[in-house]
Structure 1
Amino acid sequence: MKSAYDVIVLGAGAAGMAACLFARLNGLSALLVERTAHLGGTSAFSAATIWVPGSPLAASVGAPPDDIDQARRFLNETVGTHASAAMREAFLRWGPQAIARLQNETQVQLRARPLHPDYIQDAPGASLRGRALEPLPFDGRALGKRLALIRPPIPEFTILGGLMIDRDDIAHLLKMTKNPESFLYAAKLIGRYGIDRLTHKRGTRLVMGNALIGRLLAALDAAGAEIVTQAETEALLTENGRVTGIKLRQNGRIYDITARRGVVMASGGFNRHPTRRAEMLPQPTAAYSPGAPGHTGRIHDMALALGAHYGEGALDNAFWAPVSTRRRADGSLAVFPHFVLDRGKPGTIVVNAAGRRFVNEATSYHLFTRAMYAAHRHSPSIPAFLIADATALRKYGLGMVRPGGRGLKPFLADGYLVEAPSLAALAGRLGIDAQGLQTSVARMNDYAASGVDAEFGRGTSAYHRVNGDPAHGPNPNLGRIATAPFYAVRLLPGDIGAATGLVTNEYAQVMRKDGTPLPGLYAVGNDMQSVMGGVYPGPGITIGPGLAFAYAAATHLTGAL
């Protein structure tokens, strides 16, 4: 570690790693500082979807040539005044440039999904494809010993003790006993993993978040970036009102390191700050977050003391997903986000303590959790209860319980999964209203027969349907709840990222309240005020802007504007 660099980046999630990478590609010396032992932040846990309209990859799946204009309309309709229109425009400008540079000059290779809809499909300008990008799977063996730097995936999102799988893998694994092509696919996947475990502590085929972080790490190594882990930023150094570096503590030693051009904050947001969590999140304050550890918000305190300020006007200060929790064998707590695998499938329903539905179960995870809070103001809805019959549990799984219906005993023994021979008995074991539950299920069964959810419109949008069961009709999201035994998992609100952050300009410079930049200080990722304004209009709306403004910051730092 040297005493001075052109750029210092604080935080090694996707946005921070990208900011450091773009700085190096521009010829600047750069130091990437991570306070934990692993790189990747919450991005490493995620599906690593990257929402960037108008990228060079959009045409590969048939996105229209005017998609930027349509995306602008979509964001104006969905986000509106909850965020700065100028910042949205900057995102639409920087995003395609960032993706093009990654694709053309680095190991960060992406693809567009042929069908990955925006979440708010009834808004003008919504799209079915082309905006959501994802990293190609990556062979972690190319990193050598540095593979150990990548934050491992959430164990409950792996199989066989550490085999990472993505949506394509899941489809083949579920059909492996019925389809010869899927059997061969699964055999190769599992065989590769078996070989990996002979020589590695984990699987080396990286997908989703681990693939993105692995590719960013490979690109950073190739570009000659310097990375330090388990290093704590103690202070931002200033001179004449300008941020000039950091005071860093590592291995019991203190270092003053100069940033000749600037410091980029990418520390992950306020969410784990000891006081701001309760101040900025709704009540009751969410007790659980599936995000990675490390983002304490401490660097925010330093920036605020220098004149930075938080944005205002967002619909919500955080982004959300319903979660369920379970104590692992090693004593750690598993916090499982219920994104798309179970809530919108046939044969399931979500109710509150009154046994009544309060939300379209197939809606986005963000809107689902906001509905939990809204309903809880009038009737106890935290926790909520995700209920399935035996058929649905066997076909789709339920939270941490895998499809197939086997291996239920540990989940039943520790209370994560509740089982009963009848709906009335299940209500009794959950402590909810039995008559309410029976009435709600009877209505759901009527909706399943007609294919129309008259209460909440489940299955009416392309987003709902793509997360249902395409083989089930007449509505891929609605099915009878009739086969005993019946099962339930408790759902709680979980924050998955910060929506409120430090106000920046279009170059990611941190701004003072008087509208002038705080010289030498930049913020990207969840440290900056989200251009989505606490709205979650589509998949990957945190990582997409994170990469876009990492590119903007590096460009500004280089003086190449």
Structure 2
Amino acid sequence: MSNVVWEREVDVLVVGAGAGGMAAALSAHLGGCSVLLVEKTDRVGGSTAVSGGAVWAPMNRQSEGAGHPDSFDKAWTYMRNTVGDAAPAEMQRAFLEACGPAIDALEQHTQVKLAARTYSPDYYPDREGAALGGRSLDPLAFDGRLLGRHFRELRDPLPEFVVLGGMMITLTDAKHLLSVTKSFASWKEGMKLVLRYFADRLRGYHRGTRLVLGNALAGRLFMSVLERGIDYWLNAPLKTLQVEDGRVTGACIEHEGRPTWVRARQAVVVATGGFPWNAALREQLYPHPTGPWSMSPAGNAGEGIEIANAAGAALGSDHFGPAFWAPVSLLQRPDGTQVRYPHLVWDRAKPGLMAVNAAGRRFVNEATSYHEFVLAMYRSNETVPTIPACLVCDSDFMERWGLGLALPGGRPREHLVRAGYLYRADSLEALAAQLQIDAAGLRESAARFDGYGATGEDPEFGKGSTEYNRYLGDADHRPNPCLGPLRKAPFYAVKVYAGDIGTACGIRCNAQAQALDAEGRPIPGLYATGNDMQSVMGGQYPAPGITLGPALTFGWVAGRHIARERSNTPSSTQAAAS
């Protein structure tokens, strides 16, 4: 018998208030379970709240209406052509079979509302089974005012992805704002955004209440938690799991400054966001060189994975890679803090941007996915220093598109030059000297690249050669939306590092999201979802939304399975009433 004195009892304890954790809490609650949701930090939302918010869910009910009818055979073919054997086939199949129903259930029973993209190619559109739209969904904008006093408990978006000090915008919004002086329609849309934002600030909100992207998804899930009366604790980290006779029966949670033992009659769900900020695990599992370059919240330090591992859960293996990569530029502030900017979808694919290594040579199709871009950095780095790599552009590009934290349209950027973030020079040779890369290589690479802009063909790396490339380019630019001139001084550059947006290596689970031991047996009472779960993508990145899609899916699956197990337990009714 245990000597633990339980101070709180529930059916289900969910650890971590990101998309996976909140989906599990909602699913279990809707299945009749009492639920306590605990979050290590002082904010709800986790990585979801600072993400782009895309959800990859093949065969969702909106696919056909979006103009892209889907099928299991087509989606399965694409998974096998991208993920392959990097993740167990049974887990890939389980995701594809459950993702559509899970999204449908969330939309039916919670505040989650998503819209399928009519045009958003999978990241490898030339591989059999790929779709050009329909599979990725975006959360609809959400009015943060509906959260009332709880609005301040929702994690804020990254400061680098808001304008005017707190106004969230989408890519479409950004295009309107950049064109307010060129188009009446854009002026109208831009004014609506700005007036709403200023009205929010006048009413005393600390930021804009029009939530989009991942912040909208987190806000919608949080609103659902509040509406359902699910109890939650903030500033409440997991300290240890209690295991009795091979079953996880609860956990010690630090609550209000002291250890509090919470009994979980049915299960504990671990969803703490993976380990990107665990220096020891990163050093052990990441390729080298690596560093503190993650875009995930700093609270995602791997405690959930480590504590589950100590309770007998096995880590996954045979994955292609341990993380989901993104090139990240770094700004050191005068106070010693660091700003990390992920170069995801805005600048790399636009016409006129070139990426080079220390030899001044291109090494990648700049318009490829952020994940593939970093993989190319690591491959190139085996022979030529490529971490950091350099993104290079000319003055016309800078004024049109901007580069990382350097904004377009003549906005101030001298402070970025002084801080050593943005490099600027009147010649490519002088720029190379500042970057400490080979000047001759840079000059020759730029001359070839400039020529590709004129012909519209990139024979070296094929920038602009796929539907995905062109989707992120400039549709109005000819002959290739991703290739343009690189010739007008001054020239600019930023250095980018091998960053990530989350980890792919986690707790090995089965199709019900139950944690497995080293022999592959389910551990009674222990589940995992989100980035604490070994990714069903195996460290590959087939499409936008392949972290949030599985997180929501397996969170929902976990809660539903727990609720069914509870209903099948003869003593469940008496236990719930005790």
Answer whether TM exceeds 0.5 for this pair: yes
Contact residue 507 and residue 553 of structure 1 kept, 8 A: yes
Aligned to 2:452: 447
User: Which amino acid in 2 is paired with 1:143?
Assistant: L
Q: Is the 8 A contact 2:512 2:557 kept in 1?
A: yes
- Match of 1:503? 508
Whole-Å Cα distance in 1 between the matches of residues 378 and 410 of structure 2?
31
Q: Please give the alpha-carbon distance, in whole angstroms, between the structure 1 residues aligned to 2:462 and 2:310.
A: 48
Q: Give 3-state SS (helix, strand or coil) of 1:387's partner.
A: strand
Q: What secondary structure sits across from 2:417 in the alignment?
A: helix
CA distance in 2, matches of 1:334, 1:164: 18
Listed one character per residue, the Cα deviations across residues 513-561 of structure 1 (whole Å, up to 9, x for unaligned) are: 2121011000101111111011001000000001110111011101179
Please point out which of 266, 269, 275 is paired with 2:271. 266
Which of 294, 297, 322 in structure 1 is aligned with 2:302? 297
- State the match for 1:138 in structure 2: 142
* CA distance, structure 2, for counterparts of residue 50 and residue 421 of structure 1: 43
Alignment match, 1:128: 132
1:306 maps to which of 311, 321, 333:
311
Q: Deviations over 1:29-56 (max 9, x none)?
A: 1111100011111111111100000111
Match of 2:526 among 521, 530, 543: 521
Q: Deviations over 1:89-112 (max 9, x none)?
A: 110111111111111121111101
**Equivalences for 1:313-392 in 2 at 5 Å?**
313-328=318-333, 331-392=336-397
Structure 2 residue identity aligned to 1:75:
M
Q: TM-score, with normalisation over the residues of structure 2? A: 0.95
Describe the SS at the equivalent of 1:335: strand
Displacement after TM superposition at 1:301 (Å): 2.1
Residue number in structure 2 paired with 1:214: 219
Identify unmatched segments of 5+ residues in structure 2.
Answer: 1-5, 569-578
The one-letter code sitting in structure 2 at the alignment partner of 1:190 is V
- Distance, in Å, in 1 between the alignment partners of 2:352 and 2:290 is 31
Secondary structure of the corresponding residue to residue 122 of structure 1: coil
CA contact (8 A) 2:144 2:209 kept: yes
Q: Where does residue 576 of structure 2 map in the other structure?
A: none
- Give the counterpart of 2:120 among 116, 123, 128: 116
Matches within 5 A, 1:451-530: 451-530=456-535
| 3-state secondary structure, aligned to 1:300 | helix
Are the equivalent residues in 1 in contact too, given 2:114–2:139 (CA < 8 A)?
A: yes
Structure-2 residue corresponding to 1:159: 163
- Structure 1 residues 364-423: Cα deviation after superposition (integer angstroms, max 9, x where no partner): 000000110111110011111000100001111100111213212111111111110011
Aligned residue number for residue 243 of structure 1 = 248
In the superposition, the TM-score normalised over structure 1's length comes to 0.98
Letter in 2 for 1:156: E
Query: Is the 1:397–1:405 Cα contact (8 Å) retained in structure 2?
Result: no
Gaps of 5+ in 1: none
Q: CA deviation at 1:450?
A: 1.2
Give secondary structure in 1 for the equivalent of 2:65. Answer: helix
Residue of structure 2 equivalent to 1:433: 438
Residue 331 of structure 1: CA displacement? 4.8
Alignment of 1:1-16 (within 5 A): 3-16=8-21
Q: Within 1, Cα distance between the matches of 2:494 and 2:439?
A: 16
Q: Which secondary structure does the structure 2 equivalent of 1:290 belong to?
A: coil
Shift of 1:280: 0.4
The amino acid of 2:338's aligned partner reads L
**The 10-residue stretch of structure 1 (285-294 or 151-160) with the greater mean CA deviation from structure 2:** 285-294
CA distance in 1, matches of 2:558, 2:377: 37
Query: For the residues of structure 1 that align with 2:411 and 2:550, how far apart are their CA atoms?
Result: 41
Q: Which residue of 2 is the match for residue 95 of structure 1?
A: 99
- Give 3-state SS (helix, strand or coil) of 2:13's partner: strand
Q: Distance in 2 between matches of 1:268 and 1:253?
A: 23
**Structure 2 letter corresponding to 1:212:** L
| Residues 333 and 419, structure 2, Cα contact 8 Å, conserved in 1 | no
Give the residue type in structure 1 aligned to 2:259.
Answer: I
The yes-or-no answer on 1:73 pairing with 2:77 is yes
- Residue 409 of structure 1 is matched in structure 2 by 414
CA distance in 2, matches of 1:406, 1:217: 36
Please give the secondary structure, in 1, of the residue aligned with 2:197.
Answer: helix
Q: Provide the C-alpha distance between the structure 2 equivalents of 1:458 and 1:126, rounded to a whole number of angstroms.
A: 19
Name the SS of the counterpart of 1:340 in structure 2: coil
**Within 1, Cα distance between the matches of 2:412 and 2:71?**
46
Indicate the residue corresponding to 2:178 in structure 1. Answer: 174
- Give per-residue Cα distances to partners, 1:1-31, cap 9 Å, x unaligned: 9711111111111111111111112121111
8 A contact 1:286–1:495 mirrored in 2: no
2:418 maps to a residue whose letter is A
Q: Please, which of 43, 47, 53 is the counterpart of residue 42 of structure 1? A: 47
Please list the CA deviations of residues 430-454 of structure 1 after superposition, one character each: whole Å capped at 9, or x if unmatched.
1110100011011111211111100
Task: Give 1:503 deviation, angstroms.
Answer: 0.6
Equivalent pair of 2:243/2:311 in contact (CA under 8 Å): no
1:299 Cα deviation from its structure 2 partner: 2.5
Partner amino acid, structure 2, of 1:69: D
Give the deviation of 1:285 after TM superposition: 1.7
Output the CA distance in 2 between the equivalents of 1:282 and 1:134. 32
**CA displacement at 1:167 relative to structure 2:** 1.5
Q: Which moved more, 1:267-276 or 1:23-32?
A: 267-276
CA distance in 2: counterparts of 1:242 and 1:100, whole angstroms = 32
Farther-moved stretch of structure 1 (318-327 vs 304-313): 304-313
In the alignment, which residue of structure 1 is the partner of 2:233?
228
Confirm or deny: 8 A CA contact 1:41 1:293 kept in the other structure: no
What amino acid maps onto 2:193 in structure 1? L
**Cα drift, residue 270 of structure 1:** 2.2
Q: Which has the larger displacement, 498-507 or 301-310?
A: 301-310
SS in 1 for 2:486: coil
Structure 1 residues 136 and 328: alpha-carbon distance in aligned structure 2, compared to 1, 3 A threshold: farther
Conserved? CA contact 2:115–2:137, under 8 Å: yes
393, 401, 404: which one aligns with 2:398 = 393
**How far did residue 501 of structure 1 move?**
0.8
* Deviation larger for 225-234 or 320-329: 320-329
| Contact 2:304–2:532 under 8 Å retained in 1 | no
Kindly provide the amino acid, as one letter, of the partner of residue 34 in structure 2: S
Q: Does 1:197 align with 2:233?
A: no
**Is the Cα–Cα contact under 8 Å of residues 48 and 543 in structure 1 kept in the other structure?**
yes
Distance 1:244 1:101 in 2: 28
User: Can you list the C-alpha shifts for 1:45-83, whole angstroms capped at 9, x where unaligned?
Assistant: 11110000011121221121x433211100011111111
Write the letter of the residue equivalent to 1:472.
Answer: H
Deviation at 1:224, TM superposition (A): 1.3
Please give the root-mean-square deviation of Cα atoms over the aligned residues, in Å.
Answer: 1.3
Structure 2 residue matching 1:296: 3-state secondary structure = coil
**Could you tell me how far 1:327 is from its partner in structure 2?**
2.9
Shift of the alpha carbon at 1:329?
6.3
Identity %: 48
Pair 1:63 & 2:68 matched: yes
- Number of the residue aligned with 2:571: none
**In the TM superposition, what whole-angstrom CA distance separates every residue of 1:463-507 from its partner, at most 9, and x where no partner exists?**
000111111111100001011100000111112111111110000
Q: Distance in 1 between matches of 2:352 and 2:220?
A: 39
